[in-house]
Amino acid sequence: MEKKSPEEKQQILVNYFKTTYDYNFDKISQFMEYAWPIYNMVQSSTQYWNGFNSSSISKFDIEWEKLARSKDFIQSQELVEDFYRELGIDVNFDELMKDGTLDIKFFDKNDPDNNNNYLAGNFQGSIGISNYHPYIEVMDQGFVLDASVYAHEIGHYINENFGRDTFGRELLTESVAHFFELLFADYLCESGYEYDGTISKRLVQYTLYHCSWDALYIFRLFILFLKYNDINEEKYNEDFGGTLFNDVIDRCYEVIIEKHTLRARIKYSIAFSLSIYMYIKYKNDKEFIEAVKELNDKMMKDYTIEELLTIIGITGFDNDNMKKILVSFESFKEMLIGYSKRSI
């Protein structure tokens, strides 16, 4: 593929925003209402973690040989089913497999390249609707850690509404799935897999933190486009400064045009703030699980974002509410530092 100049990339992004805006006006205008508040939330979260993330928590200091190998798929299945049962949520893998919802891809356990799959992030599952039927696709790579992906996808499945995606679900389902994934990490620790649970928590935080930076760049360009119907360096520096314009263009070009992950990045950036907030809230008061169940139920119906967030105790996007999120980050950080000290 021919390499594109920064100017070409910039023009392609402007055209991309124009066509998106023309063809999806309803959806985009719904989203626009929240562009600023979400931008502010993501910006505060990302800046709060800055420095801490790069120095102490990295995806690449994982000792792969220390990860527990699973006996078989049944072991992972039971871990996930028992985990959800304890929370009062009924999950039955056999039924999900029988009706064609759940599909598992098996990897050769003895293949050393399997570790590289984890490193490359090629171990995620997916969930969606195909031919009017929901599907969940996950992989068995022979690690106990595989089960955390199953727990995550089930976290989506319990608010799946057979393809009738509301705006509330679109924005919040990742937050719920990551919340359950974090809880499941604790469950792994309690079940004798402390290293794996610890790694799982770090991977969640690592991935979401990096997605948040991408989302921040996307929001900046999108906000510029809405304001000036154009994206250029002068306006960018006036409004945002800080990061080099060409770096932002490069990153957004890759994420939006090459990888087609604009929506995923935005949903993950919201999940970064909210899943950690929800996780700490649950750690402080187990009754909070009832609020999460109510959120699951209501996000499938036509509730507004404000109504949905109120259920979990976020009553707006002002400073007081932002503070609630940042305070929970503080607890989570301390937890991660504690874990990494123990695992050395």
Q: Is 336 in the site for Zn ion (CB under 5 A)?
A: no
Which helix (H) or strand (E) segment holds residue 252: the answer is: helix 245-252
Q: Closest distance between Zn ion and the C-beta of residue 138, in Å? A: 12
278: closest CA among 264, 289, 266, 262? 289
- Collapsing DSSP states into helix, strand and coil, what is residue 134? strand
Sheet holding 133-140, edge to edge: 102-106, 133-140, 126-130
Tokens 């599907």 locate to 135
Q: Is 177 among the residues that bind Zn ion (CB under 5 A)?
A: yes
CB of 264 to Zn ion, least distance (A): 8
**Total binding residues for Zn ion by CB under 5 A?**
1
Residues with Cβ within 8 Å of residue 3, at least 6 apart in sequence: none
Integer Cα distance of 268 and 285 in angstroms: 25
Instruction: Closer to Zn ion by CB, 177 or 249: give it.
Output: 177
67 binds Zn ion (CB under 5 A): no
What is the rounded distance in angstroms from the CA atom of residue 247 to the CA atom of residue 284? 40
Measured from the CB of residue 204, what is the shortest distance to Zn ion in angstroms? 10
Which residue, 177 or 252, has its beta carbon nearer to Zn ion?
A: 177
Q: How far is the CB of 226 from Zn ion (least distance, A)?
A: 27
Identify which range of 38-46, 90-98, 174-182, 301-309 contacts Zn ion by CB under 5 A: 174-182
**In whole angstroms, how close is the CB of 174 to Zn ion at the nearest point?**
5
Of 66-74, 98-106, 177-185, 308-316, the segment contacting Zn ion by CB under 5 A is 177-185
Q: Which stretch binds Zn ion (CB under 5 A): 82-90, 160-168, 169-177, 183-191?
A: 169-177
CB 10 within 8 Å of CB 232: yes
Helix 319-343 and helix 194-228, axial crossing angle in degrees, nearest 10: 150
Closest to Zn ion by CB, 96 vs 177, is 177
In the complex, the residues that contact Zn ion under the rule CB under 5 A are: 177
